Amino acid sequence: MLAYTYLSPHRFQLVEKPRPTLLDPTDAIVRVTLSSICTSDLHIKHGSVPRAAPGITVGHEMVGVVEAVGQAVSTVRPGDRVTVNVETFCGRCFFCQNGWVNNCTDPQGGWALGCRIDGGQTEYVRVPYADQGLDKIPPNVTDAQALFVGDILATGYWAADIANIGRDDTVLILGAGPTGLCTLQCVLLHQPRQVVVCERDPGRRAFVRAHHPQVHTVAPEEVLAFLQTHTSHGGADRVLEVAGGPDSFQLAWKCARPNAVVTVVALYDQDQVLPLPQMYGKNLTFQTGGVDGCRCGEILSLIAAGKLDTTPLITHTFPLSRIEEAYALFEERRDGVIKVAIRPDAS
């Protein structure tokens, strides 16, 4: 089978590999029907993910059909259409039992697929702990609708939930990339009084206005002044930092009103400075970390009910055999690209 493979920093290549087989009783084999490229894949490509193992198939955003299951798997069976969770988690350890699956203590836990073990930019993938890592797709939900459930949509859903958004809140989202756009949809589920999206790219601000006309959009250089004139208490009640840019963390706390909550979803390439003397007296609450992506079933139910729809984010689709072209488009942000879907080649 074809598999897009991490050979060494700055070297990905489409190679032939054998189909995976069941290794443990908790495994499942999934035939990939649609996958996608994530910014985290680019981080691997450029050598900024030290734990990424050379030789692995990359990709952690995917949906597919179950082909085989181990004898201990009870929640799915061959023929089921499923989403695949970006995180591998055992479901038994202290952290999993508390819903903090990002910190699963199992040796296979955490971001494994497409990083430490073979991922989904291929034709077949082995999924460890399938009872936790796979969720059945409802019959009225398409592969494209379900594609982001296991990663960036789960991230947005988790971020909006832990931010504890109220109906009277002004919510500021920094960043309108793919994760920011998923976060926006999940924030809107909480029906806050107003939502502001701050984004540098005019094309992405236009995308937000076209799909969510009730949302305010501003550029970074405008956001502080906008919040001063459009809020009652000198800033946003809830700030969700999804941009991960060189200045976005500083912007996040500056845009927050006193006693606000700042939720940091972004993954930074460098250390960030927490200027405590400058923010002293603002009494801010910071929440940071990686997604606890264990609520994919809830997200799929919301998609089935028509309350979430991330298909507009898929601006381009390529066959697996042309994945190198897809990566170049995505990395160079050409042609208005937001997300690229990868489909198997016709047999």
Q: What is the CATH number of the domain that holds 241?
A: 3.40.50.720
Across all residues in the chain, what is the average pLDDT?
Answer: 95
> How many CB atoms neighbour CB 3 within 10 A?
26
Please give the sequence-ordered ranges of beta strands (E in DSSP) within 234-323, or none if there are none.
236-241, 256-264, 285-288, 314-319
Name the domain boundary from 265, 288, 311: 288
| pLDDT per residue as tens digits for the range 54-101 | 999 999 999 999 999 999 999 999 999 999 999 999 999 999 999 999
Please tell me whether residues 310 and 336 are part of one structural domain: yes
Q: Are residues 134 and 112 in the same domain?
A: yes
pLDDT number for residue 205: 97
CA–CA dist 75, 285 (Å, integer): 38
Q: Do both 173 and 247 map to the same domain?
A: yes
State mean pLDDT over 163-189.
97
**Of 245, 266, 288, at which residue does a domain stop?**
288
Domain final position from 288, 312, 329? 288
Cα separation, 75 vs 134, in Å, equals: 8
Helix ranges (H only) for the chain are: 39-45, 94-97, 130-133, 143-146, 152-162, 178-188, 202-211, 220-230, 248-255, 276-279, 296-304, 323-332
Question: Do 83 and 157 touch, CB atoms closer than 8 A?
Answer: no
- The pLDDT > 90 percentage for the chain reads 90
Q: Using CA atoms, how far apart are residues 73 and 243, in angstroms rounded to an integer? A: 38
| Same domain, yes or no: 74 and 178 | no
pLDDT at 25 over 60: yes
Rounded average pLDDT over 267-280: 87
Asked if residue 178 and residue 282 are part of one domain, the reply reads yes
Q: What percent of the chain has pLDDT over 70?
A: 100
Q: Within 13 A of 326's CA, how many CA atoms are on the CB side? A: 27
The pair of structure tokens assigned to 110 is 């955490």
pLDDT at 271: 87
Asked whether residue 217 falls in the same domain as residue 300, the answer is no
Number of domains the chain contains: 2
CATH number of the domain residue 334 falls in: 3.90.180.10
> CA 219 to CA 241: how far, in whole Å?
14
Whether the Cβ atoms of residue 122 and residue 3 lie closer than 8 Å to each other: yes
122 and 168: one domain?
A: no
Same-domain pairing of 41 and 119:
yes
114-118, 155-159, 287-291: which range is least confident on average?
287-291
- Does 269 score more than 90 pLDDT? no
Q: Exposed, middle or buried: residue 15 (CB in 10 Å: 0-12, 13-18, 19+)?
A: middle
Q: Write out the residue range of the structural domain in which residue 238 sits.
A: 156-288
The predicted pLDDT at position 290 comes to: 86
So what's the pLDDT on residue 347?
A: 52
